[in-house]
Protein backbone atom coordinates (compact mmCIF):
# COMPACT_ATOMS: atom_id res chain seq x y z
CA UNK A 1 0.00 0.00 0.00
CA UNK A 2 1.22 3.48 -0.87
CA UNK A 3 0.52 6.46 1.41
CA UNK A 4 1.61 9.98 0.48
CA UNK A 5 1.82 13.06 2.69
CA UNK A 6 2.81 16.71 2.25
CA UNK A 7 5.45 18.26 4.52
CA UNK A 8 6.13 21.99 4.55
CA UNK A 9 9.52 22.74 6.10
CA UNK A 10 10.52 26.35 6.68
CA UNK A 11 13.96 27.21 8.00
CA UNK A 12 15.42 30.59 8.79
CA UNK A 13 16.89 30.93 5.28
CA UNK A 14 14.75 28.82 2.94
CA UNK A 15 11.50 26.87 2.70
CA UNK A 16 10.31 23.90 0.69
CA UNK A 17 7.32 21.67 0.12
CA UNK A 18 8.00 17.93 0.08
CA UNK A 19 5.95 14.88 -0.79
CA UNK A 20 6.70 11.92 1.46
CA UNK A 21 5.77 8.49 0.10
CA UNK A 22 5.50 5.51 2.45
CA UNK A 23 5.70 2.25 0.51
CA UNK A 24 6.79 -1.21 1.66
CA UNK A 25 8.02 0.18 4.98
CA UNK A 26 10.28 2.80 3.41
CA UNK A 27 9.91 6.55 3.18
CA UNK A 28 11.00 8.50 0.12
CA UNK A 29 11.02 12.27 -0.25
CA UNK A 30 10.51 14.42 -3.33
CA UNK A 31 10.88 18.19 -3.26
CA UNK A 32 8.08 20.05 -5.02
CA UNK A 33 9.40 23.57 -4.67
CA UNK A 34 12.03 25.52 -2.78
CA UNK A 35 11.87 29.20 -2.01
CA UNK A 36 13.77 31.95 -0.23
CA UNK A 37 13.03 32.86 3.35
CA UNK A 38 14.79 35.49 5.40
CA UNK A 39 14.59 38.96 6.87
CA UNK A 40 13.75 42.05 4.87
CA UNK A 41 14.73 45.39 6.35
CA UNK A 42 12.17 48.18 5.98
CA UNK A 43 12.87 51.54 7.61
CA UNK A 44 15.24 49.99 10.12
CA UNK A 45 13.08 47.01 11.13
CA UNK A 46 13.52 43.37 10.10
CA UNK A 47 10.38 41.59 8.88
CA UNK A 48 9.41 38.15 7.65
CA UNK A 49 7.34 38.02 4.46
CA UNK A 50 4.56 35.59 5.37
CA UNK A 51 2.46 36.40 2.30
CA UNK A 52 5.39 35.32 0.13
CA UNK A 53 5.77 32.16 2.23
CA UNK A 54 2.09 31.25 2.03
CA UNK A 55 1.97 31.84 -1.71
CA UNK A 56 4.87 29.44 -2.20
CA UNK A 57 3.35 26.92 0.21
CA UNK A 58 0.06 26.85 -1.70
CA UNK A 59 1.95 26.51 -4.98
CA UNK A 60 3.93 23.64 -3.48
CA UNK A 61 0.77 21.93 -2.26
CA UNK A 62 -0.77 22.25 -5.74
CA UNK A 63 2.32 20.63 -7.25
CA UNK A 64 2.24 17.93 -4.59
CA UNK A 65 -1.37 17.05 -5.34
CA UNK A 66 -0.44 16.53 -8.99
CA UNK A 67 2.52 14.37 -7.92
CA UNK A 68 0.51 12.11 -5.61
CA UNK A 69 -1.05 9.00 -7.08
CA UNK A 70 -4.12 9.51 -4.91
CA UNK A 71 -5.36 12.30 -2.65
CA UNK A 72 -2.61 13.13 -0.13
CA UNK A 73 -3.22 11.68 3.31
CA UNK A 74 -2.42 14.90 5.20
CA UNK A 75 -0.40 18.13 5.38
CA UNK A 76 1.92 19.37 8.16
CA UNK A 77 3.94 22.57 8.61
CA UNK A 78 7.04 23.14 10.75
CA UNK A 79 9.12 26.29 11.08
CA UNK A 80 11.67 28.04 13.26
CA UNK A 81 10.64 29.03 16.79
CA UNK A 82 9.78 32.15 18.83
CA UNK A 83 8.32 34.41 16.11
CA UNK A 84 4.61 35.16 15.83
CA UNK A 85 1.84 37.16 14.21
CA UNK A 86 -0.97 39.12 15.87
CA UNK A 87 -4.56 38.83 14.62
CA UNK A 88 -7.63 41.01 15.07
CA UNK A 89 -11.14 39.93 16.07
CA UNK A 90 -11.99 39.09 12.42
CA UNK A 91 -9.00 36.77 12.17
CA UNK A 92 -6.95 39.15 10.01
CA UNK A 93 -3.20 39.49 10.42
CA UNK A 94 -2.46 42.94 11.83
CA UNK A 95 1.02 43.28 10.34
CA UNK A 96 3.95 41.37 8.90
CA UNK A 97 5.64 39.41 11.71
CA UNK A 98 8.95 40.83 12.89
CA UNK A 99 12.12 38.75 12.54
CA UNK A 100 13.73 37.56 15.77
CA UNK A 101 17.01 39.21 14.78
CA UNK A 102 15.38 42.65 14.90
CA UNK A 103 16.82 45.08 17.43
CA UNK A 104 13.54 45.74 19.25
CA UNK A 105 14.45 43.32 22.03
CA UNK A 106 17.69 45.08 22.94
CA UNK A 107 17.61 45.98 26.62
CA UNK A 108 14.61 43.76 27.37
CA UNK A 109 16.57 41.46 29.69
CA UNK A 110 17.09 44.44 31.97
CA UNK A 111 13.41 45.40 31.78
CA UNK A 112 12.15 41.88 32.54
CA UNK A 113 14.65 41.05 35.28
CA UNK A 114 13.96 44.39 36.94
CA UNK A 115 10.46 43.07 37.63
CA UNK A 116 10.91 39.29 37.85
CA UNK A 117 14.33 37.87 38.76
CA UNK A 118 16.12 35.74 36.18
CA UNK A 119 15.93 32.75 38.53
CA UNK A 120 12.15 32.99 38.76
CA UNK A 121 11.75 33.29 34.99
CA UNK A 122 13.77 30.09 34.55
CA UNK A 123 11.89 28.30 37.32
CA UNK A 124 8.57 29.03 35.59
CA UNK A 125 9.68 28.25 32.03
CA UNK A 126 12.91 26.21 32.00
CA UNK A 127 13.97 28.03 28.84
CA UNK A 128 17.39 29.27 27.78
CA UNK A 129 17.85 33.03 27.98
CA UNK A 130 18.08 34.59 24.55
CA UNK A 131 16.88 38.13 24.00
CA UNK A 132 15.19 37.01 20.79
CA UNK A 133 12.70 34.83 22.73
CA UNK A 134 9.01 35.65 22.40
CA UNK A 135 8.88 36.83 26.01
CA UNK A 136 11.21 39.75 25.26
CA UNK A 137 9.54 40.52 21.95
CA UNK A 138 6.22 40.77 23.82
CA UNK A 139 7.80 42.86 26.57
CA UNK A 140 9.01 45.30 23.92
CA UNK A 141 5.50 45.52 22.41
CA UNK A 142 3.97 46.00 25.85
CA UNK A 143 6.35 48.81 26.78
CA UNK A 144 5.85 50.66 23.51
CA UNK A 145 2.07 50.08 23.75
CA UNK A 146 1.92 49.44 20.03
CA UNK A 147 -1.38 49.63 18.16
CA UNK A 148 -1.07 46.02 17.00
CA UNK A 149 -0.45 44.83 20.53
CA UNK A 150 -3.43 46.76 21.94
CA UNK A 151 -5.76 45.72 19.11
CA UNK A 152 -4.87 42.04 18.87
CA UNK A 153 -7.25 39.23 19.76
CA UNK A 154 -4.93 36.28 19.11
CA UNK A 155 -1.24 35.46 18.86
CA UNK A 156 -0.15 32.65 16.56
CA UNK A 157 3.37 31.29 16.30
CA UNK A 158 4.82 30.91 12.81
CA UNK A 159 3.73 27.31 12.00
CA UNK A 160 0.33 27.83 13.62
CA UNK A 161 -0.18 31.03 11.62
CA UNK A 162 0.42 29.25 8.33
CA UNK A 163 -1.71 26.26 9.36
CA UNK A 164 -4.51 28.66 10.29
CA UNK A 165 -4.37 30.23 6.84
CA UNK A 166 -4.69 26.71 5.41
CA UNK A 167 -7.47 25.30 7.56
CA UNK A 168 -9.07 28.18 9.50
CA UNK A 169 -8.41 26.95 13.04
CA UNK A 170 -6.27 28.84 15.55
CA UNK A 171 -4.19 26.65 17.86
CA UNK A 172 -0.83 26.76 19.63
CA UNK A 173 1.13 23.58 18.93
CA UNK A 174 2.98 22.71 22.10
CA UNK A 175 6.56 22.26 20.83
CA UNK A 176 6.71 25.71 19.23
CA UNK A 177 4.78 27.30 22.11
CA UNK A 178 7.45 26.04 24.49
CA UNK A 179 10.12 28.11 22.72
CA UNK A 180 8.39 31.34 23.78
CA UNK A 181 9.71 31.42 27.38
CA UNK A 182 6.21 31.90 28.70
CA UNK A 183 5.17 28.24 28.59
CA UNK A 184 5.53 26.18 31.77
CA UNK A 185 6.80 22.65 30.98
CA UNK A 186 5.90 21.42 34.47
CA UNK A 187 2.22 22.35 34.24
CA UNK A 188 1.86 21.99 30.47
CA UNK A 189 0.19 25.40 30.27
CA UNK A 190 1.06 29.06 29.82
CA UNK A 191 3.00 30.70 32.66
CA UNK A 192 0.13 33.05 33.48
CA UNK A 193 1.59 34.17 36.81
CA UNK A 194 4.84 35.27 35.14
CA UNK A 195 3.04 37.20 32.43
CA UNK A 196 0.79 38.90 34.96
CA UNK A 197 3.77 40.12 36.97
CA UNK A 198 5.38 41.50 33.82
CA UNK A 199 2.20 43.20 32.66
CA UNK A 200 2.18 41.24 29.40
CA UNK A 201 -1.18 40.27 27.93
CA UNK A 202 -2.04 36.63 28.56
CA UNK A 203 -5.43 36.68 26.82
CA UNK A 204 -3.97 36.30 23.34
CA UNK A 205 -3.16 32.61 23.36
CA UNK A 206 -5.25 29.98 21.57
CA UNK A 207 -5.84 26.40 22.64
CA UNK A 208 -2.70 24.32 23.16
CA UNK A 209 -2.51 21.07 21.18
CA UNK A 210 0.02 18.24 21.22
CA UNK A 211 2.20 17.47 18.19
CA UNK A 212 0.41 14.91 16.07
CA UNK A 213 -3.07 16.48 16.37
CA UNK A 214 -5.41 16.83 13.38
CA UNK A 215 -6.59 20.46 13.52
CA UNK A 216 -8.67 20.87 10.35
CA UNK A 217 -8.75 20.45 6.59
CA UNK A 218 -7.39 22.26 3.55
CA UNK A 219 -9.42 21.46 0.42
CA UNK A 220 -10.48 18.20 2.02
CA UNK A 221 -6.97 17.18 3.12
CA UNK A 222 -6.43 16.86 6.91
CA UNK A 223 -4.01 19.39 8.37
CA UNK A 224 -1.86 18.00 11.19
CA UNK A 225 -0.13 20.08 13.85
CA UNK A 226 3.19 18.22 13.66
CA UNK A 227 6.25 19.09 15.74
CA UNK A 228 5.70 22.71 14.73
CA UNK A 229 9.14 23.75 15.92
CA UNK A 230 11.49 22.38 13.28
CA UNK A 231 13.89 21.03 15.91
CA UNK A 232 11.08 18.97 17.44
CA UNK A 233 10.49 17.40 14.04
CA UNK A 234 14.22 16.94 13.44
CA UNK A 235 14.74 15.21 16.79
CA UNK A 236 11.78 12.92 16.02
CA UNK A 237 13.63 11.60 12.97
CA UNK A 238 16.97 10.84 14.66
CA UNK A 239 17.31 7.11 13.93
CA UNK A 240 18.51 5.96 17.34
CA UNK A 241 18.02 2.35 18.35
CA UNK A 242 16.78 1.13 21.71
CA UNK A 243 19.49 1.37 24.36
CA UNK A 244 21.65 3.80 22.37
CA UNK A 245 23.05 6.68 24.42
CA UNK A 246 23.55 9.55 22.00
CA UNK A 247 23.35 13.29 22.02
CA UNK A 248 21.42 14.85 19.15
CA UNK A 249 22.60 17.81 17.09
CA UNK A 250 20.24 19.41 14.61
CA UNK A 251 22.57 21.32 12.31
CA UNK A 252 21.49 24.23 10.14
CA UNK A 253 21.46 28.00 10.52
CA UNK A 254 21.25 27.17 14.22
CA UNK A 255 22.85 24.21 15.97
CA UNK A 256 20.70 22.62 18.64
CA UNK A 257 22.59 20.16 20.82
CA UNK A 258 20.85 18.07 23.44
CA UNK A 259 19.19 14.86 24.55
CA UNK A 260 15.66 13.51 24.67
CA UNK A 261 14.23 13.20 28.20
CA UNK A 262 10.88 12.41 29.78
CA UNK A 263 10.97 15.26 32.34
CA UNK A 264 12.40 18.81 32.28
CA UNK A 265 15.65 19.62 34.07
CA UNK A 266 15.00 22.88 35.92
CA UNK A 267 17.59 23.56 38.58
CA UNK A 268 20.39 25.96 39.45
CA UNK A 269 22.97 24.12 37.36
CA UNK A 270 20.78 24.14 34.25
CA UNK A 271 20.12 27.85 34.81
CA UNK A 272 23.83 28.59 35.22
CA UNK A 273 24.63 26.71 32.00
CA UNK A 274 21.74 28.45 30.17
CA UNK A 275 20.20 25.20 28.93
CA UNK A 276 16.62 24.89 27.74
CA UNK A 277 13.69 22.53 28.15
CA UNK A 278 11.61 22.54 24.99
CA UNK A 279 8.70 20.21 24.41
CA UNK A 280 9.32 17.38 21.97
CA UNK A 281 7.00 14.86 20.35
CA UNK A 282 5.24 11.90 21.97
CA UNK A 283 5.64 13.15 25.53
CA UNK A 284 9.35 13.96 25.35
CA UNK A 285 11.35 16.98 26.48
CA UNK A 286 14.20 18.29 24.35
CA UNK A 287 16.84 19.22 26.92
CA UNK A 288 19.32 21.17 24.86
CA UNK A 289 21.17 24.35 24.18
CA UNK A 290 20.54 26.62 21.21
CA UNK A 291 23.91 27.36 19.65
CA UNK A 292 24.98 29.38 16.68
CA UNK A 293 25.22 27.10 13.66
CA UNK A 294 26.07 27.75 10.04
CA UNK A 295 24.78 31.33 10.27
CA UNK A 296 28.23 32.91 10.35
CA UNK A 297 29.38 30.80 7.39
CA UNK A 298 26.23 31.78 5.48
CA UNK A 299 26.92 35.44 6.16
CA UNK A 300 30.59 35.11 5.22
CA UNK A 301 29.60 33.55 1.91
CA UNK A 302 27.03 36.29 1.27
CA UNK A 303 29.46 39.12 2.04
CA UNK A 304 32.27 37.63 -0.05
CA UNK A 305 29.86 36.95 -2.89
CA UNK A 306 28.89 40.64 -2.87
CA UNK A 307 32.61 41.44 -3.05
CA UNK A 308 33.04 39.24 -6.12
CA UNK A 309 34.21 35.97 -4.50
CA UNK A 310 31.57 33.39 -5.37
CA UNK A 311 32.72 30.52 -3.16
CA UNK A 312 30.94 27.16 -3.12
CA UNK A 313 30.43 25.41 0.22
CA UNK A 314 32.98 22.75 -0.74
CA UNK A 315 35.50 25.42 -1.72
CA UNK A 316 35.07 27.06 1.68
CA UNK A 317 35.80 23.74 3.39
CA UNK A 318 38.95 23.25 1.31
CA UNK A 319 40.14 26.77 2.10
CA UNK A 320 39.68 26.14 5.82
CA UNK A 321 41.66 22.91 5.57
CA UNK A 322 44.60 24.78 4.04
CA UNK A 323 44.90 27.22 6.97
CA UNK A 324 46.97 26.50 10.07
CA UNK A 325 44.93 25.05 12.94
CA UNK A 326 44.24 26.72 16.27
CA UNK A 327 45.61 30.17 15.49
CA UNK A 328 42.44 32.16 16.26
CA UNK A 329 39.48 31.49 18.55
CA UNK A 330 35.93 32.82 18.42
CA UNK A 331 32.70 32.04 20.22
CA UNK A 332 30.16 31.74 17.37
CA UNK A 333 27.34 32.65 19.75
CA UNK A 334 28.77 36.02 20.74
CA UNK A 335 26.19 38.81 20.45
CA UNK A 336 28.32 40.59 17.84
CA UNK A 337 27.56 37.77 15.37
CA UNK A 338 23.77 37.60 15.81
CA UNK A 339 22.58 40.22 13.32
CA UNK A 340 23.26 40.24 9.57
CA UNK A 341 26.34 42.25 8.62
CA UNK A 342 30.01 42.28 7.73
CA UNK A 343 31.08 39.04 9.43
CA UNK A 344 34.75 39.15 8.32
CA UNK A 345 35.19 42.52 10.02
CA UNK A 346 33.26 41.38 13.09
CA UNK A 347 35.42 38.27 13.46
CA UNK A 348 38.57 40.37 13.29
CA UNK A 349 37.12 42.79 15.86
CA UNK A 350 36.25 39.88 18.17
CA UNK A 351 39.80 38.53 18.03
CA UNK A 352 41.23 41.98 18.72
CA UNK A 353 38.81 42.47 21.63
CA UNK A 354 39.89 39.18 23.18
CA UNK A 355 43.61 39.95 22.93
CA UNK A 356 44.40 37.74 19.94
CA UNK A 357 46.01 38.33 16.59
CA UNK A 358 43.49 38.88 13.79
CA UNK A 359 42.85 36.45 10.92
CA UNK A 360 43.59 38.20 7.63
CA UNK A 361 42.94 35.74 4.82
CA UNK A 362 39.60 34.21 3.91
CA UNK A 363 41.06 30.78 4.73
CA UNK A 364 42.11 31.89 8.21
CA UNK A 365 38.70 33.38 8.89
CA UNK A 366 36.96 30.21 7.77
CA UNK A 367 39.28 27.99 9.81
CA UNK A 368 38.57 29.87 13.04
CA UNK A 369 34.81 29.70 12.42
CA UNK A 370 34.85 25.95 11.80
CA UNK A 371 37.05 25.35 14.83
CA UNK A 372 34.93 27.72 16.92
CA UNK A 373 31.79 25.75 16.10
CA UNK A 374 33.40 22.38 16.89
CA UNK A 375 34.88 23.64 20.17
CA UNK A 376 31.54 25.16 21.13
CA UNK A 377 29.93 21.76 20.50
CA UNK A 378 32.55 20.05 22.68
CA UNK A 379 32.17 22.50 25.54
CA UNK A 380 28.37 22.14 25.43
CA UNK A 381 28.60 18.34 25.11
CA UNK A 382 30.57 18.11 28.37
CA UNK A 383 28.03 20.24 30.22
CA UNK A 384 25.15 18.26 28.69
CA UNK A 385 26.53 14.99 30.06
CA UNK A 386 26.83 16.49 33.52
CA UNK A 387 23.38 18.09 33.61
CA UNK A 388 21.50 15.15 32.11
CA UNK A 389 23.28 12.56 34.26
CA UNK A 390 23.90 10.47 31.16
CA UNK A 391 27.09 8.99 29.74
CA UNK A 392 26.80 9.89 26.08
CA UNK A 393 28.69 7.53 23.81
CA UNK A 394 28.14 9.23 20.46
CA UNK A 395 26.80 12.32 18.72
CA UNK A 396 24.07 12.05 16.09
CA UNK A 397 24.09 14.99 13.66
CA UNK A 398 21.05 15.48 11.43
CA UNK A 399 19.83 18.19 9.08
CA UNK A 400 21.37 19.99 6.14
CA UNK A 401 24.47 20.93 8.13
CA UNK A 402 25.46 17.28 8.51
CA UNK A 403 26.60 17.37 4.87
CA UNK A 404 29.52 19.55 5.98
CA UNK A 405 32.04 16.75 6.43
CA UNK A 406 34.80 19.03 7.68
CA UNK A 407 32.61 20.22 10.54
CA UNK A 408 31.44 16.64 11.23
CA UNK A 409 35.05 15.45 11.57
CA UNK A 410 36.01 18.43 13.72
CA UNK A 411 32.98 17.75 15.95
CA UNK A 412 34.17 14.16 16.44
CA UNK A 413 37.70 15.35 17.22
CA UNK A 414 36.58 18.01 19.68
CA UNK A 415 33.96 15.94 21.54
CA UNK A 416 36.13 12.80 21.50
CA UNK A 417 33.05 10.83 20.44
CA UNK A 418 32.00 9.01 17.31
CA UNK A 419 29.82 11.23 15.12
CA UNK A 420 27.05 9.58 13.09
CA UNK A 421 25.34 11.72 10.47
CA UNK A 422 21.97 11.57 8.71
CA UNK A 423 19.30 11.89 7.67
CA UNK A 424 19.91 15.15 5.86
CA UNK A 425 16.19 15.87 5.59
CA UNK A 426 15.52 15.12 9.26
CA UNK A 427 13.05 17.95 9.75
CA UNK A 428 10.90 16.91 6.80
CA UNK A 429 11.15 13.24 7.81
CA UNK A 430 10.09 14.00 11.38
CA UNK A 431 7.25 16.17 10.12
CA UNK A 432 6.05 13.20 8.05
CA UNK A 433 6.42 10.72 10.91
CA UNK A 434 4.09 12.81 13.06
CA UNK A 435 1.58 12.92 10.23
CA UNK A 436 1.80 9.14 9.88
CA UNK A 437 1.21 8.69 13.58
CA UNK A 438 -1.70 11.15 13.60
CA UNK A 439 -3.33 9.34 10.69
CA UNK A 440 -2.86 5.89 12.24
CA UNK A 441 -0.24 4.64 9.78
CA UNK A 442 2.44 3.98 12.43
CA UNK A 443 1.81 3.07 16.08
CA UNK A 444 4.77 4.68 17.85
CA UNK A 445 7.69 7.04 17.43
CA UNK A 446 10.03 4.03 17.64
CA UNK A 447 8.27 2.48 14.64
CA UNK A 448 8.78 5.74 12.76
CA UNK A 449 12.48 5.81 13.59
CA UNK A 450 12.82 2.28 12.25
CA UNK A 451 11.34 3.52 8.98
CA UNK A 452 13.94 6.31 8.93
CA UNK A 453 16.77 3.79 9.52
CA UNK A 454 15.51 1.62 6.68
CA UNK A 455 14.94 4.55 4.34
CA UNK A 456 18.03 6.75 4.64
CA UNK A 457 20.83 4.34 5.55
CA UNK A 458 22.71 5.40 2.41
CA UNK A 459 23.13 8.88 3.88
CA UNK A 460 24.71 7.61 7.09
CA UNK A 461 28.37 8.44 7.63
CA UNK A 462 30.56 7.79 10.68
CA UNK A 463 33.45 9.94 11.85
CA UNK A 464 35.83 8.60 14.47
CA UNK A 465 37.74 11.03 16.71
CA UNK A 466 41.21 12.04 15.53
CA UNK A 467 43.98 14.19 17.02
CA UNK A 468 42.10 14.28 20.32
CA UNK A 469 45.06 15.53 22.37
CA UNK A 470 45.53 18.59 20.16
CA UNK A 471 41.81 19.28 20.21
CA UNK A 472 41.73 18.85 24.00
CA UNK A 473 44.42 21.50 24.37
CA UNK A 474 42.61 23.76 21.94
CA UNK A 475 39.40 23.41 23.95
CA UNK A 476 41.12 24.70 27.06
CA UNK A 477 42.55 27.66 25.12
CA UNK A 478 39.12 28.34 23.59
CA UNK A 479 37.52 28.34 27.03
CA UNK A 480 40.02 30.92 28.19
CA UNK A 481 39.25 33.26 25.30
CA UNK A 482 35.58 32.58 24.73
CA UNK A 483 33.59 30.74 27.37
CA UNK A 484 32.75 33.72 29.57
CA UNK A 485 31.71 35.75 26.54
CA UNK A 486 28.72 33.59 25.54
Catalytic residues: 230
d(CA 266, CA 160): 27
Contact between residue 435 and residue 74 where contact means Cβ atoms under 8 Å apart: yes
d(CA 166, CA 219): 9
Residues 6+ apart with CB under 8 A from 34: 14, 15, 16
Task: Determine how many CB atoms are found less than 10 A away from the CB of residue 370.
Answer: 25
d(CA 280, CA 228): 10
Give the number of C-alpha atoms closer than 13 A to the C-alpha of residue 336, restricted to the C-beta side. Answer: 16
308 CB burial (10 A radius; 0-12, 13-18, 19+): exposed
Amino acid sequence: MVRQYIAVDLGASSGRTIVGTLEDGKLSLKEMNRFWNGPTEIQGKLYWDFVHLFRNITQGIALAKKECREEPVSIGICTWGVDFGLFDAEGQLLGNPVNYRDARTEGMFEKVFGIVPREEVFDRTGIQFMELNTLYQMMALSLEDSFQYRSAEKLLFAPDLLSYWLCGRMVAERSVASTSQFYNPRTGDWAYDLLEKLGIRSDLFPELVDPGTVIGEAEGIPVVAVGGHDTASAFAAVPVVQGESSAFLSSGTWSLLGVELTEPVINEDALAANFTNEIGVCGTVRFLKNLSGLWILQELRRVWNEQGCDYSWSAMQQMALQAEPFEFYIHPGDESFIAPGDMPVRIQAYCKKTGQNCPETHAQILRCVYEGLALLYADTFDVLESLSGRKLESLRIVGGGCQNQLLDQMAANATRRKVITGPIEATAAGNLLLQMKAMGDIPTLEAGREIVRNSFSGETMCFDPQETEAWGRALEVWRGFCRERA
